[in-house]
Amino acid sequence: MAVRQDTIWERFLSPVVRLLIDEDGLRLYADSIDWEKECDRYRRDDVIIPAYYSSQNFHGVTGGYLNYGAAVSYDPITQYVLPPNETIVRQALVDAVKVKPRRILDLGCGTGSTTLMLKQAFPEAEVIGLDLSPYMLVRAEDKARNAGLDIVWRHGNAEKTSFRDATFDLVTASLLFHETPDTVSLAILRESFRLLVTGGQVLILDENQKTLRQLEWLNDVFEEPYIREYAAGSVEANMGAAGFEAVRSHDVWWINQVTSGVKPIASENIRRYIPTSIDNDLEGLGSPAFGIRA
């Protein structure tokens, strides 16, 4: 796992984090897995890795998430860089679920941390985690197996998942949008709209855009090629452009945010998102939370 030496992360933050994690244990774990063999169980020939994902470094790591080193190190590092606590931040997304989901799709699931929490919160639901990196999926499956959770892991692109229309009650994404160009984030939301039943809910957990705009130095802490584009944009506006209603965000410990939207029943009459006129009545939109199904 090649890491650039001139990033703020590598010069200042990485040495601190390395004092807190068991690097020898991580090496033993990494060496215990035949990564290419395990990845072959997930790789799909119809999945094309987009250039914005494969040609950039994320968090200073050359090759981003397309290597086993990223899959092994992601969890130990993330637990220390999501204040005040990774579980609290991810739980904010779970707590924002307002539907009674039968099928859940977690986009850009990574090592499955949020995916596992969704399955624990909704044990009767079918939960699917989708990610572009088969290495991350191998790690996610291992975590689910150790937790005794039955989750489906799928190699795929969140922009074009190949799932049928209107087959999910809940679509989520955690810490994904700040790692994608704005046009891609909008494409993912439009795909989410297609996948949801009427009254279904989309939930996006990510860094707080208002905070990033106010504190410019936060954009430099980690090597994130699209962080400034994300900070300048609006998840809420993109949700409205994708067709969602009842769009709203709430802060999660100031550093993060959860944004929710609902697919309206009358999807043929899509209303654009208007910040000063948000319809927050989920029941009026026919949410599955109130027993109204597609």
Q: Which of 137, 142, 139, 88 is nearest to 117 (CA)?
A: 88
Q: Which two tokens stand for residue 88?
A: 């609290």
Distance (Å, rounded) from C-alpha 286 to C-alpha 107? 24
pLDDT over 80 at 107, yes or no? yes
pLDDT in tens, 211-270: 999 988 777 766 688 999 999 999 999 999 999 999 999 999 999 999 999 999 874 544
CB atoms within 10 A of CB 206: 23
Contact (CB, 8 A) for 271 and 244: no
Quote the Cα angle for 139-143-148, to 5°: 145
Q: What is the model's pLDDT at position 23? A: 76
Which range has the worst mean pLDDT, 33-42, 56-65, 226-235? 56-65
Per-residue DSSP letter, 80: H
pLDDT of residue 24: 80
pLDDT at position 62 is 62
Most confident of 66-75, 80-89, 228-237: 228-237
In DSSP terms, which residues pair with 152 in a beta bridge?
Answer: 128
* Backbone dihedral angles phi then psi of residue 262, each to the nearest 5 degrees: -125, 135
pTM (2 d.p.): 0.85
Q: Rounded to an integer, what distance in angstroms lies between the CA atom of residue 12 and that of residue 6?
A: 10
Domain 1-265, architecture per CATH: 3-Layer(aba) Sandwich (3.40)
Does 60 score more than 70 pLDDT? no
Of the candidate ranges 3-7, 65-69, 145-149, 246-250, the one whose mean pLDDT is the lowest: 3-7
| CA-atom Rg of the chain in angstroms | 19
Q: Following DSSP, what letter does each residue of 18-56 receive, concatenated?
A: HHHS-HHHHHHHHHTS-HHHHHHTT--TTPPPPHHHHSS
| Domain positions in the chain | 1-265
The predicted-structure confidence for 201-210, as pLDDT tens digits, reads as follows 999 999 999 9
Whether 279 has a pLDDT exceeding 60, the answer reads: no
pLDDT tens digit string along 9-32?
A: 455 445 555 666 777 888 899 999
